[in-house]
Amino acid sequence: MTISKLSASEQEATTDAVLAASLKSQQEKGPSLRQIHPKSHGLVWGEFIVENNIPDAVKVGVFAVPQTYPIWVRFSNAGEAEKRGKFVSDKEPNARGLAIKLMNVQGEKVLDDEDETQDFTLINHPVFFVRDVQGYIDIAKVASGQADPDLVKAMQPSFAILQETGSKKVVNPLFIQYWSTTPYNLGSQAIKFSVKPQQEAVSDSISYSDDYLREATVKYLTDEGKDAFFDFLVQLYVDEEKTSIENPMQEWKEEDSPFIKVATIKIPSQKFDFDERKRLDEGMSFNPWHTLPEHEPIGSVNLARKKIYQELAKYRREQIQKRLREPQPFYFIKDEPH
């Protein structure tokens, strides 16, 4: 397995630069609001049912024995908030996210801020849009018009991935497949994982309002009272040429590494579109480093996420506590809906 082109010091410095930019954006658009995947289409409860008949090679960590974990599942848009209290419309091109939090997971975790959880985070595209953490800096330079022609050219593959991801037609978050994009350990092996719906998309008449993805999820789970099911799948590392660890922009093709089903996700019909659930949603933190060591993220992008995700969540929670402890005048908060 190859290592990142960035040295350890470069990785750390670049990660700090990305974190500083993210904190600045968070301060401007709402210090107590979620910075990464801020717009939610729903936080729902369910079950993560580990299969009985999986291969011995993947019986590791949460997949070691057949059992059922209670879970929270969050569907989201990746785009940043436009300003305090206003999210990008669902009609705009965007990556769609899926985050899963298993509970009652026993054992020591990589991070110590949650004791009994295991998180999985995914988006609706099989590859990531940058190769390493430096890509975040470079893509921001290009987007702001500060890049030289060579960098603009070099970043075209990243913009092509963003365009392809955002151009996917999504009628309902419950009907699409999601991928980890980056690799993870499965004991001594490396894997990527994916979540694939069992229910097929139906061509409902959709209003395509600014919040149509939440509306579609409410219609399916609440109004129509239907359950939703997904397969949780893993792919095993083959070699660096076919299944690169350090280049998350490269897809792990199914013909090179077939999907292996290890669990079923069940989301029962339920009500979730109410204020108390939304408050729980906003306060919850999903981080791929909320994990057993057996499922530890690998690769330079995941290494950067470890610090960035943790620090952003810490800052957000501190701001929530400060807001409650020491209220600010309305002209500072500006929390009236737009």
pLDDT tens per residue across span 171-211: 999 999 999 999 999 999 999 999 999 998 776 667 789 99
For the record, the structure tokens of 288 come out as 């791929």
- Select the more confidently predicted residue: 7 or 238: 238
In this prediction, residues 291-311 reach a mean pLDDT of 85
Number of C-beta neighbours around residue 163 at 10 A: 11
pLDDT at 231 (0 to 100): 98
Give this prediction's pTM. Answer: 0.87
Q: How many whole angstroms separate alpha carbon 191 and alpha carbon 204?
A: 36
For the record, the structure tokens of 166 come out as 């955002």
Q: How many whole angstroms separate alpha carbon 138 and alpha carbon 145?
A: 11
- Select the more confidently predicted residue: 124 or 200: 124
pLDDT at 336 (0 to 100): 62
pLDDT tens per residue across span 218-228: 999 999 999 99
pLDDT at 2 (0 to 100): 37
Task: Kindly report the length of the chain.
Answer: 338
Q: What is the DSSP letter of 224?
A: S
For the record, the structure tokens of 301 come out as 């992008």
CA 67 to chain centre: 24
Whether the predicted pLDDT of 81 surpasses 50: yes
CA 208 to chain centre: 23
Q: What is the dihedral of CA 145, 149, 153, 155, to 10 degrees?
A: -40
Contacts of residue 55, defined as CB under 8 A and 6 or more positions apart, other chains included, come to: 260
Angle (CA) 87 89 93, round 5°: 115
CA 284 to chain centre: 13
Number of C-beta neighbours around residue 159 at 10 A: 14
Q: Among 9-13, 73-77, 265-269, which stretch is predicted with the lowest mean pLDDT?
A: 9-13
Residue whose structure tokens are 């400060």 = 322
pLDDT at 335 (0 to 100): 61
- In the chain, where the domains are located: 8-333
pLDDT at 296 (0 to 100): 95
Q: How many whole angstroms separate alpha carbon 131 and alpha carbon 34?
A: 24
For the record, the structure tokens of 17 come out as 């630069």
Give the gyration radius of the chain's Cα atoms: 20
Q: Are 135 and 163 in contact (CB under 8 A)?
A: no
DSSP string, 110-155: SSSS-SSEEEEEEESSSS-S-SSTHHHHHHHHHHTT---HHHHHHT
CA 202 to chain centre: 25
Whether the predicted pLDDT of 24 surpasses 90: no
Q: Enter the CATH code of domain 8-333.
A: 2.40.180.10
In this prediction, residues 282-297 reach a mean pLDDT of 92
- As a whole number, the mean pLDDT across the chain is 87
pLDDT at 22 (0 to 100): 66
Q: Are 15 and 304 in contact (CB under 8 A)?
A: yes
CA proximity to 137, closest of 110, 167, 163, 158: 158
